[in-house]
Structure 1
């Protein structure tokens, strides 16, 4: 039994073509279209004979789903392929460059020119006067303010590099790859992409739930100790990427001292990083009377010892 053209067209699931769940919003629709168009653009898939047809399917899916009327017709099972193309094949004379094509679809809207009302012509009997108009005032200067976004990465994403897509306040979408072996606290600069020609910065946050900070192949951890633990030494349990381990803190450890756990960092090829544990001595914000008396006694002993040395 033959199937009609309308039935064939309505059988195409445009949501599936773009890899979206039904009812996705316009921003998700744009992102999915960019990704699929880049994936199937014929210029980027010269050895794939299937890419041309798939690229057309991606464009038809976006044309239908982004147009409320065409989308309604498609959902009702009507033939939207002919309506979407308006009787013409937009790729009959070849495929445009991918970036030019995306810019044409999603480029920033141009300012509209508002025409001035026409003036009535002067009577022919009156002589025409030469009128010199003042030049238009210069456009206002837009103050540029740098913007910043926080990007959270897992240790694996920071190690390999991750694609990040940002939607700026003016509607511009920016795609950037973070560098491999990036670290927590890195600040990446995107020059001139913010409104007014300002820069946009990406602040990278690469931490685990145990407060392990990633910096390339190294893992950093801050260990808080009491003054007594730092002075006398202690044995503590610290987290690592491979699970908790026992660490011996030597006596006389002050804030800023680094203890190394060899081979407890990230691994890349045949390289393996270490974990550095930074000591931080923390004094209680409120002391009991007994603690205050002990600290006063320590202060007096230190003063007496300095007097003997001098």
Structure 2
């Protein structure tokens, strides 16, 4: 947004005074309220236009000045991998602009927060947009950008999941079955099927949705050494069992 577009948005023409900007803003701000438009974008643009013009009235007009508008109005919604897999209810706070108008002076732009309780579908992908429709006609609609948390042992890659599983080094060398806790629940896998300590479980990544296919679960087995127990501990345990 530049000076020309700010003037047009507020319905003003040169020359302008501070009281002209404030009066034009007050005339339009109520019609731009999020509850009337289903989004806070019109109110945000009005605030940007007013703030740009007021600043230039203080510092001198600058037709080359540009204020970048918010290109992605979606609020980040951070989910655990488990929630992305199974869906379910979460509670989150979202910011909303609140314009305080005073007849005797300039308005102040503040942000307040609103608590939302959301029921999420299973199979959300990282970066996906989730649109939450207003609960009542004329209410505010919210758009969220999904962010799936990345843990050291577990993260999402596209449709797939990657899980690091610690396994005792001796057990990893000998092979055999182990029980692995996954976002889909416990799974029994055979270490003998692993290649370079890696194993893929088909269809156990992020679940299929109307837009996306089911992903896979990629397991990486990480060996750890079991510390040797002192001989005195082994002898004491022997006596306890056979005393």
TM exceeding 0.5: no
Higher Rg of the two aligned structures = 1
TM-score by length of 2: 0.39
The one of the two structures with greater contact order (alpha-carbon pairs below 8 A, sep at least 6) is 2
